[in-house]
């Protein structure tokens, strides 16, 4: 039987989507899988990949930071064990990975952080000395800047573990709104934190679909073009370029927010002293015109200008940006900077925009 006959008999080959095995990772990967199946007309299989970061409870500093969660997935993709990966973009290092590219950036979810507190409390109404949990240096600094009296406790674990501690030894925790939404737990939030005072991590709320740079599957590439959301790619490109130009780790005490408003791209970023006692903010805006690539180039340039102003104003003196210990994910040439290089076949349209695999089928 020929390959064509086998394909006609068995149907189109499934797309293998690599994901971490945590509840949040599987939830967001399943969402992408459903959309990818619809766009491609092919079944999509989730392939769960276990990383050292998932099984080793040693400190993230000793394991290499959040990159340890992405490395096993990427090794599986390079080895041909999977066809695509789904990452939480905020946890993806800005440095490019040899042989891989971002094939799609789907429409972004809510980029804000939320407070989950006992008795419906907000940040302002928490009692003096309240214990608030977070593993993020940025969130620690922001909490201390707003409420120096709070006892901010370092925590690790998946979303359910962190939520459970609010009923145990903590008064509150700070989490990403997008993560809670993806597991249908946003109802637990007692306050949505405004991006004006609480800028989130670069890329927070967005997902990245990663592929091999030499991918030749035309059906897959066409499907990824349908998933890609041009405004989201623009905003996260600008935010991550700030991080890249600051030569900062993905969990450094930095908040960044980019917004597309009509034909304007606005980018703002803040670097904090770890104790929240001091911070620097810079903002720039630019008109977007030209092709999709022209707009991406402008997003990169804008992010670079924001980073340059921060450095000129002494942001690098506030924190050791490159060596800041990274938080474990809670369940999660110019293109080299933000790590969002797109293979030519998967360019967005101008309009809008050592691993152990386990496979589960979905269609």
Active site annotation includes 295: no
Choosing from 20, 42, 74, 90, which is the catalytic residue? 90
The model's pTM is 0.84
Choosing from 35, 162, 182, 245, which is the catalytic residue? 162
The confidence score (pLDDT) of residue 349 equals: 40
Active site annotation includes 139: yes
Active site annotation includes 245: no
The confidence score (pLDDT) of residue 11 equals: 74
In CATH, the number for domain 3-110+202-362 is 3.40.190.10
Active site annotation includes 162: yes
Q: Is the pLDDT of residue 61 over 50?
A: no
Calculate ∠ Cα 72-326-335, nearest 5°.
65
Active site annotation includes 90: yes
The class level of CATH for 113-192 reads alpha beta
Alpha-carbon distances of 112 from 181, 189, 204, 271, 357, rounded to whole Å: 11, 11, 8, 17, 32
97 falls in which pLDDT band (50, 70, 90)? Answer: very high
CA 177, CA 204: separation in Å to the nearest integer? 9
Choosing from 16, 20, 138, 280, which is the catalytic residue? 138
91 falls in which pLDDT band (50, 70, 90)? Answer: confident
170 falls in which pLDDT band (50, 70, 90)? Answer: very high
199-247 pLDDT, tens digit each: 999 999 999 999 999 999 999 999 999 999 999 999 999 999 999 999 9
CA 83, CA 79: separation in Å to the nearest integer? 10
Q: Where are the domains of the chain?
A: 3-110+202-362, 113-192
The confidence score (pLDDT) of residue 320 equals: 87
Choosing from 146, 147, 156, 273, which is the catalytic residue? 156
Alpha-carbon distances of 165 from 259, 328, 346, rounded to whole Å: 34, 17, 43
The confidence score (pLDDT) of residue 262 equals: 87
Determine the average pLDDT of the residues in 31-59. 83
Choosing from 83, 91, 110, 171, which is the catalytic residue? 91
Active site annotation includes 23: no
Active site annotation includes 182: no
Choosing from 20, 139, 182, 295, which is the catalytic residue? 139
Q: Half-sphere exposure of 126 toward its Cβ, with a 13 Å CA cutoff?
A: 30
């Amino acid at each position: 039987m020929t390959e064509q006959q086998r394909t006609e008999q068995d149907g189109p080959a499934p797309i293998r989507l690599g994901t971490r095995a945590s509840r949040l990772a599987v939830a967001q990967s399943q969402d992408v899988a459903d959309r990818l199946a619809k766009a491609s007309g092919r079944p999509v299989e989730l392939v769960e990949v276990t990383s050292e970061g998932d099984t080793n409870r040693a400190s993230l500093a000793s394991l290499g930071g959040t990159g340890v969660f992405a490395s096993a997935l990427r090794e599986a993709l390079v080895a041909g064990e999977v066809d695509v990966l789904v990452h939480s973009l905020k946890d993806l290092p800005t440095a490019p990975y040899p042989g891989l590219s971002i094939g799609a950036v789907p429409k972004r979810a809510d980029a804000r952080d939320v407070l989950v507190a006992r008795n419906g409390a907000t940040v302002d109404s928490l009692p003096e000395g309240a214990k608030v949990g977070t593993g993020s240096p940025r969130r620690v600094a922001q909490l201390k800047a707003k409420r120096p009296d709070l006892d901010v406790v370092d925590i690790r674990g998946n979303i359910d573990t962190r939520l459970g501690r609010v009923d145990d030894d903590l008064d509150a925790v700070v989490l990403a709104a997008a993560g809670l939404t993806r597991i249908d737990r946003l109802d637990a939030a007692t306050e949505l934190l405004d991006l004006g005072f609480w800028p989130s991590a670069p890329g927070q709320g967005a997902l990245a679909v990663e592929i091999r740079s030499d991918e030749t599957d035309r059906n897959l590439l066409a499907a990824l073009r349908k998933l890609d959301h041009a405004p989201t790619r623009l905003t996260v490109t600008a935010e991550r370029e700030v991080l890249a130009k600051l030569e900062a780790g993905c969990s450094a005490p930095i908040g960044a927010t980019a917004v597309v408003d009509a034909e304007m791209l606005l980018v703002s970023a803040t670097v904090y002293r770890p104790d929240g006692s001091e911070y620097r903010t810079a903002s720039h805006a630019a008109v977007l015109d030209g092709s999709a690539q022209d707009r991406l180039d402008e997003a990169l340039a804008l992010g670079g200008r924001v980073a340059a102003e921060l450095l000129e104003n002494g942001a690098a003196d506030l924190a050791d940006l490159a060596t800041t210990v990274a938080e474990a994910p809670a369940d999660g040439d110019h293109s080299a900077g933000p790590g969002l290089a797109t293979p030519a076949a998967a360019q967005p349209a101008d309009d809008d925009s050592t691993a152990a695999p386990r496979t589960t089928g979905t269609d």
